[in-house]
């Protein structure tokens, strides 16, 4: 185990910033702590346990252009196409119109489509173990687990990213990482784990990528006392996270309770804003749209929100998830039943952001305690929600 003195942190990050982008929790002028690109001299905010958003944005961009295309109108050919088009529109001689159409087709022949996949090296410093684990949990869907498709955009960024996690000294009342097989000092997904001790950090490399980082001169070997102190910090933190619900059998219970009216009751106060999906470190569902201006365009993917009624709305007007409780049920079932069934991984790392940021105080722990356990027979409700 290594030791990094508190006053060497800036030097270490500065060192990293010389080789790659560094992202860290930074307090903005508005007082909000978010993961932001770090520059030398900026203070890293580790006293606030969780930045408002997870760090997923730096691997799965909130909005990402993945194709650029152009009905290429450059050069001589393009100029001619434009001229002839302008001129022929007013002519109604069929032969000339045909010629104009042929030219237009030629212009289309110059269609160029290029993938865009920028993945510069980056280090995300100061994320909590739950956020680091969030990436691991998403990896399976993007990594073609079980023979499905491999996503080159997510994986390029993922591979170019080094995660430096920091043990949670002071878990919040909304933390429930220990209920989902994690913990305040969980190492899953992290390349390096920092643990705050007196005067600095006890530091352990967990992967080859992590080893490389610790080769930096700012690190010294940790003293035995520091190692023991770090262990105590971890154990104390672990003990402070309450058990929220029982994971055992949750998949089967969710399956059995699929038509249970309890979903309706729990979803009543949801306003379908989708905040939980955006702040979540592993809600990954996305939309795809095209934007084009003057013959040049982009195909873009953006975070999406399965609570939005238009998420599943079909052109015909048919909506397979036409009630709020069905959409509500989908998110929780996705995380604890659908995803685990397909990818052998949970899709929740217990950060609790969805609890703290929900405007109507919906608590995932309550939802799972109720719907993820055996339900006694309840008479079906007669009313359907609006």
Partner 1 sequence: MASTQNTAGGNGKSRLTFADVKAGVTTAAAGTLAGNPYLPQIATIIDIIDETPNIKSFRVRFDDEAVMDALAFDPGQVGQLGIFGVGESTFAINSSCSEKRYLQFSVMKAGEVTSALHELNVGDKVGVRAPMGCGFPVDAWKGKNILYIMGGIGSAALRATISYTLEHREDYGDITILYGARTPLDLTYKYDIEDWQIRKDIDAVITVDRDFPGWEGRVGFVPTVLEEMAPKPANTIAITCGPPIMIKFVLQGLQKMQFTDEQTYTTLEKRMKCGIGICGRCNIGPRYVCVDGPVFSMAELRELPDEM
**Smallest gap from residue 149 Cβ to partner 1 (A):** 4
54 or 178: CB nearest partner 1: 54
Which of 292, 360, 378, 381 is close enough to bind partner 1 by CB under 8 A?
292
Residues numbered 30-89 forming contacts with partner 1, rule: CB under 8 A: 66-67, 69, 71
195 or 277: CB nearest partner 1: 277
**Smallest gap from residue 278 Cβ to partner 1 (A):** 14
Sign of the torsion formed by the C-alpha atoms of 46, 48, 50 and 55: negative
15 near partner 1, judged by CB under 8 A:
no
3-state DSSP of the chain = CEEEEHHHHHHHHHHHHCCCEEEEEEECCCCCEEEEECCCCCCCCCCCCCCCCCHHHHCCCCEEEEEEEEECCCHHHHHHHHHHHHHHHCCCCHHHHHHHHHHHHHHHHCEEEEECCCCCCEEEEEECHHHHHHHHHHHHHHECCCCCCECHHHHHHHHCEEEEEECCCCCCCCCCHHHHCCCCCCCCCCCEEEEEECCEEEEEECCHHHHHHHCCCCCEECCHHHHHHHHHHHHHHHHHCCCCCCCCCHHHHHHHCCCCCHHHHHHCCCCCCCHHHHHCCCCCCEEEEEEEECCEEEEEEEECCCCCHHHCCCCCCCCCCCCHHHHHHHHHHHHHHHHHHHHCCCCCCCCCHHHHHCCCCCCHHHHHHHHCCCCCCCCCCCCCCC
**Ramachandran bin of 156, using left for φ above 0, alpha for ψ from -120 to 50, beta for the remaining angles:** alpha
Write the burial class of residue 146 (CB in 10 Å: 0-12 exposed, 13-18 middle, 19+ buried). Answer: exposed
174 or 345: CB nearest partner 1: 345
Residues numbered 90-109 forming contacts with partner 1, rule: CB under 8 A: 101, 105, 108-109
209 near partner 1, judged by CB under 8 A:
no
306 near partner 1, judged by CB under 8 A:
yes
258 near partner 1, judged by CB under 8 A:
yes
Which of 122, 179, 333, 349 is close enough to bind partner 1 by CB under 8 A?
333
Q: How many CB atoms lie within 10 A of CB 128?
A: 30
How far is the first Cα of the chain from the last one, in angstroms, to the nearest whole number? 58
Q: Measure the CA–CA gap between 307 and 272, rounded to whole angstroms.
A: 5
Q: How many residues bind partner 1 (CB under 8 A)?
A: 64
308 near partner 1, judged by CB under 8 A:
no
222 or 270: CB nearest partner 1: 270
69 or 356: CB nearest partner 1: 69
**Smallest gap from residue 93 Cβ to partner 1 (A):** 19
**Smallest gap from residue 367 Cβ to partner 1 (A):** 16
Which of 15, 36, 85, 334 is close enough to bind partner 1 by CB under 8 A?
334
**Smallest gap from residue 133 Cβ to partner 1 (A):** 15
**Smallest gap from residue 71 Cβ to partner 1 (A):** 8
Which of 152, 199, 249, 309 is close enough to bind partner 1 by CB under 8 A?
152
337 near partner 1, judged by CB under 8 A:
yes
366 near partner 1, judged by CB under 8 A:
no
315 near partner 1, judged by CB under 8 A:
yes
259 near partner 1, judged by CB under 8 A:
yes
191 or 218: CB nearest partner 1: 191
Q: Measure the CA–CA gap between 357 and 361, rounded to whole angstroms.
A: 8
Residues numbered 106-145 forming contacts with partner 1, rule: CB under 8 A: 108-109, 111, 113, 115, 139-145
**Smallest gap from residue 295 Cβ to partner 1 (A):** 8
The residue ranges that bind partner 1 (CB under 8 A) are: 66-67, 69, 71, 101, 105, 108-109, 111, 113, 115, 139-153, 155-156, 159, 258-259, 284-290, 292, 297, 299, 301, 304, 306, 311-316, 318, 320-321, 326, 329-330, 333-334, 337-339, 341-342, 344
């Amino acid at each position: 185990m290594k030791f990094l003195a508190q006053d060497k942190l800036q030097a270490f990050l500065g060192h990293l910033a010389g080789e790659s982008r560094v992202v860290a929790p930074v307090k903005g002028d508005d007082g909000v702590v978010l993961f932001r690109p770090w520059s030398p001299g900026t203070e890293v905010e580790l006293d606030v346990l969780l930045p408002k958003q997870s760090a997923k944005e730096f691997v799965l961009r909130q909005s990402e252009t993945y194709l650029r295309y152009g009905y290429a109108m450059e050069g001589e050919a393009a100029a001619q196409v434009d001229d002839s088009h302008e001129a022929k529109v007013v002519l109604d001689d069929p032969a000339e119109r045909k010629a104009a159409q042929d030219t237009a087709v030629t212009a289309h022949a110059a269609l160029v489509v290029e993938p865009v996949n920028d993945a510069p090296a980056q280090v995300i410093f100061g994320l909590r173990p739950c956020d680091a684990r969030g990436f691991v949990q998403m990896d399976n869907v993007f990594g073609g687990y079980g023979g499905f498709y491999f996503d080159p955009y997510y994986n390029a960024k993922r591979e170019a990213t080094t995660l430096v996690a920091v043990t949670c000294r002071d878990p919040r009342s909304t933390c429930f990482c220990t209920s989902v097989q994690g913990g305040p000092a969980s190492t899953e997904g992290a390349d390096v784990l920092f643990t705050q001790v007196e005067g600095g950090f006890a530091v352990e490399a967990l992967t080859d990528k992590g080893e490389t980082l610790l080769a930096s001169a700012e690190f010294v070997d940790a003293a035995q006392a520091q190692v023991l102190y770090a262990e105590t910090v971890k154990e104390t933190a672990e003990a402070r996270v309450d058990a929220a619900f029982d994971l055992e059998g949750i998949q089967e219970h969710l399956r059995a309770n699929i038509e249970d009216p309890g979903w309706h009751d729990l979803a009543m106060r949801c306003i379908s804003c989708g905040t939980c999906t955006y702040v979540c470190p592993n809600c990954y569902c996305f939309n795809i749209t095209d934007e084009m201006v003057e013959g040049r365009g982009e195909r873009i993917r953006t975070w999406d929100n399965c609570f939005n009624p238009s998420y599943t709305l079909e052109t015909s007007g048919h909506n397979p998830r036409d009630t709020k409780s069905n959409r509500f049920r989908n998110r929780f079932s996705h995380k604890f039943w659908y995803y685990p069934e397909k990818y052998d991984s949970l899709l929740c790392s217990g950060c609790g952001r969805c609890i703290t940021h929900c405007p109507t105080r919906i608590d995932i722990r309550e939802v799972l305690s109720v719907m993820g356990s055996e339900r006694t027979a309840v008479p079906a409700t007669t009313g359907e929600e609006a």
